[in-house]
Structure formats: C-alpha cells, structure tokens
Amino acid sequence: MPIINRVADLADEIIAWRRDFHENPELLFDVHRTAGIVAEKLKAFGCDEVVTGIGKTGVVGVIRGKANGSGKVIGLRADMDALPIEEATDVAYKSKVPGKMHACGHDGHTSMLLGAAKYLAETRNFDGTAIMIFQPAEEGGGGGAEMVKDGLMERFGIQEVYGMHNMPGIPVGQFAIRPGPIAAAADRFTLTIEGKGGHAAQPHLSIDPILVASHVITALQSVVARSVDPLESAVVSVCTVKAGEAFNVIPHHATLLGTVRSLTPEVRDLSEERVRTIIENICAAFGAKATLEYHRGYPVTVNDAKKTEFMAQIARNIVGDAAVDTSVAPMMGAEDFSYMLEQRPGAYIFLGNGDTASCHHPAYDFNDSATPYGVTLWAKIIETGMPTR
C-alpha cells in the first residue's frame, strides 16, 4: 500500500492550497478566511454535509461511503491557526501578514485533510461515514474543547477520532506514534509577591520581593527533583520575572509567570499541590504575601492502545515497518486534540517533516514533500477502518 496514485496526482494542487494558507496566516479563532476556503472547497468536492461555526470558527465536512451498512463513523482532525511570530524565511510564499506566520505546520495539516476529503468524496470506497474536522485555536485557545462543547462528537455520531502533526527531525516518509500519553498536560501560573518597598540602602526596613522570588524559583525546581517519582515525567519552568524599575529601589511587588507540565493525572495533581505549598510557605517565611493564579490548560493527550496499533499498521502499509516508530518518547509540549481523545478512542501520530527548523521557530516551514504521506494515511484510515464488503 504505497502512496495512492490519485493522491500523487493531487499533490501539486494540495501544495498550492498549503502555500496560500501560509501566505495568509490567521490566529486562534480568527480564522475566517481559512475556514471560509475550507468550507468552500468541501462543498465543491461534493461532501454530503458541510457545517460551519462548530467551536466558533471550526468547519466539519461529512462524507458518506458507497455503502453505509456498517453504521461506523470515523473522525479525522486538522488544526487551522497560525502563530504570532514574524517569519524569517525567504520562500516565495512567505507570510504577507506582519507578525503572523504558520510556524507549526497547520497550513500543511489543513491542506492534507482537504486533500483527503477531495479523494474520499471522489471515490467513496468505504462503508460508513468519514467526518473531516477542521479546528481553530489549537495554539493556546482550546479550539478542540470548544468544538467538543458544541457537540461535535454527538452531533456527527463520531465513534473514533484521529489526529496528525508534522515533526521536524523525523525524516520525510516516516511516522512515529506510541500508545498511552504522547503529549503532556500544560498548566500555567501567575504569582504576585507583595513585599514592602523601600530604599536599597535600608533593606532591613523592607521586605524584598526579588529575594523572595529568587527563593521561590529555586525551590520550585525541587518539585521535579524531589517530589515526582524519577520514573515519571514533569517540568516546572518559571519563564517571566518582573520586578523593580530603579537600581536603588527595593520594589513593592514581583511577578512570576510559569508553566507546569506532566504526563499523568496523578503527577499533575501532585505538581500543583507542591507548587502551591512551596509558594505559600516561602512567601510566608519572608513575611511577604503571595497571590497565586493557577490555571489548568490542555490535558494529557492519551492514545488508545488498539487505535494506536491500527493507525501504526496503516502507516506501516504505506512506508514499511522500518519507517514507523511505535515507541517514540512522549513530548512535553501540549496538544488540544487531547479534548477529543477524552471523548472518543483514537490516536495521534507524528508525520516526518525532515531536517527543518523546529516548530514555533521563525525559520520553520512545512515540508511539502511530506504531503502525499499524510494524505494517504488519512485516506487509508477511512478505507481500511470502514472497508466495503
């Protein structure tokens, strides 16, 4: 089962769509142009139903197979949004929008799923219903959660769901997947430390929030080093420190922003508890007041074992056993496809993007040569998962 011939024929057209999306990036839920083009194309392909406005600006296309006796319904998901980054490439299709670019390959994801939709609408060589899910706001907006809240699974009768993301560093023509956790939960916190401002020459009359912040930052590293089982995974990072404006003034406040990441609910709960306890007690020990805002973000992305093996086998059939890694290490980045996997069994796979800049880098670009592999995988998930009799 190599690249589907019809998919190979469509490759140039799909790449042209991708480059248009790349030139015109949109952020979060404000993907009106992208979503409009997606809906227009799905209708032109002859999808049986095209629904817009799911999860604010999401689009769903419904394609029914030649037969529908199985009653089976499979969802395929792609994300549409870009990032607030100034592009640093010199490609001819460079972003036309200052301060915005497709630095994570969602232009490629959207185009590959459109390509699969065109192929499946033409051939319909399956017994069941394929649901094409185009999601906004993966990059921090929780668009996956919004689509779920809007009844995505129930409205379209989705029984299982699959996602795919390009991965720089994995050669083109290869895939990587694993059962269980494949992407981390990502929580964030804002800590405001209220001390007592004063003159730098009289620290004994002040409560120095910078000193308190320094102790907090150091102690937070003990969460992973001394509280989390060394065989588990967690990350605690303080990424922003704001305090003071003058060389001779002890400020009244200091603000810390950070992130906490984990791969299991148990470690997630433990990490939050330890972060809260450390902050409260260190600030109290110095006589400072702590105000902590702790926000739970995307949950852990967990692949169903059976659906992972099914997806991996489709990939093996396309590129061969040696080109599919089924024990890739989970990433500590987060992915809001997790909300869909909380609702239905499914799996999330990495598609090789080759030796390119990393995702979220200003020099990143989706590798167009990966397109036929992604489109073929999507098509074969539908045809193999819902075979005609």
The residues carrying an active-site annotation are: 81, 138
How would you label 60-76 residue by residue, b for 16+ Cβ within 10 Å and e otherwise? bbbbbbeeeebebbbbb
Burial class (CB in 10 A: 0-12, 13-18, 19+), 342: middle
Q: Whose CA is closest to 338, among 184, 189, 187?
A: 184
Task: Report whether 241 contacts 254 (CB < 8 A).
Answer: yes
* Cβ atoms 236, 307 nearer than 8 A: no
CA distance 107 to 96: 14
Q: Looking at this protein, which amino acid is placed at residue 288?
A: A
d(CA 324, CA 145): 30
Q: Which residue has the tokens 């592999």?
A: 373
Beta bridge partners of 289: 194
Closest listed residue to residue 55, CA positions, set 73, 83, 79, 76 = 79
Sign of the alpha-carbon dihedral angle for 89, 90, 91, 94: positive
Placement of tokens 């009244």 in the chain: 252
With vertex at residue 179, the alpha carbon angle to CA 174 and CA 180, rounded to the nearest 5 degrees, is 135
Name which of 156, 159, 135, 173 is nearest 298 in CA terms: 135
